[in-house]
């Protein structure tokens, strides 16, 4: 009679640990002992530490700091219970750069008379500084990026006189 033997495989696993030694180079006679680096939270601290410290971390953006005493509300913006603009940073395209009258942010097209314009407005049709010679005569003050005004603009660029486009002026 044959007997079966069960073989159990035992694996002897030895845990191997690698030892890592941390070494630091010996301090050179020229180097100083390490100094703490300061993290500044406001601009007043920055002015004080600039004179005494070689290195510090800014915990704020110095370009975004606004003096609260210099904040004033602009009277040209309508006041709202929901939103108030207290300050602006940088330039606004439809206010600080040349723009067609219908894109003016100083005199919004939907809420102000179209004849009014700022110093940066230009005529959409003529592509000249507002008011153009047809500003009130051919009502270029009403021009915007739609239908017949686009046709007039194209005609003018093709050197057709504005008067040729007069039948296509919108009725007001």
Beta bridge partners of 15: none
Torsion of CA 69, 75, 81, 82, to 10 degrees: -80
83 vs 90: CA distance, rounded Å: 20
| 90 φ/ψ sector (left φ>0, alpha ψ -120 to 50, else beta) | left
Poorest-pLDDT segment among 13-27, 83-97, 118-132, 148-162: 13-27
Summarised one tens digit per residue, pLDDT across range 9-49 is 454 444 444 444 445 555 555 555 556 677 777 777 777 77
Note the pLDDT of residue 170. Answer: 57
45 vs 58: CA distance, rounded Å: 10
Q: With beta carbons less than 8 A apart as the criterion, state whether 141 and 101 touch.
A: yes
What is this structure's pTM? 0.44
- Mean residue pLDDT across the chain: 71
């Amino acid at each position: 009679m044959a007997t079966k033997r069960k073989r159990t495989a035992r694996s002897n696993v030895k845990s191997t640990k690698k030892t890592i030694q941390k070494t630091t180079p010996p301090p050179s006679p020229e180097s100083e002992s390490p100094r703490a680096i300061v993290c500044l939270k406001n601009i007043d601290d920055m002015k004080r530490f600039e004179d005494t410290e070689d290195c510090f971390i800014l915990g704020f953006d110095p370009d975004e700091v606004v003096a609260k005493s210099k904040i004033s509300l602009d009277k040209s913006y309508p006041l709202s219970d929901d939103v108030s603009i207290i300050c602006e940073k940088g330039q606004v395209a439809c206010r600080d750069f040349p723009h067609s009258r219908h894109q003016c942010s100083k005199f919004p097209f939907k809420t102000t008379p179209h004849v009014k314009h700022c110093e940066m407005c230009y005529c959409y049709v003529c592509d000249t500084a507002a008011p153009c010679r047809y500003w009130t005569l051919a009502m270029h003050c009403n021009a915007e990026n739609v239908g017949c005004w686009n046709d007039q603009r194209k005609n003018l660029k093709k050197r057709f006189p504005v008067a040729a486009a007069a039948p296509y002026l919108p009725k007001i």
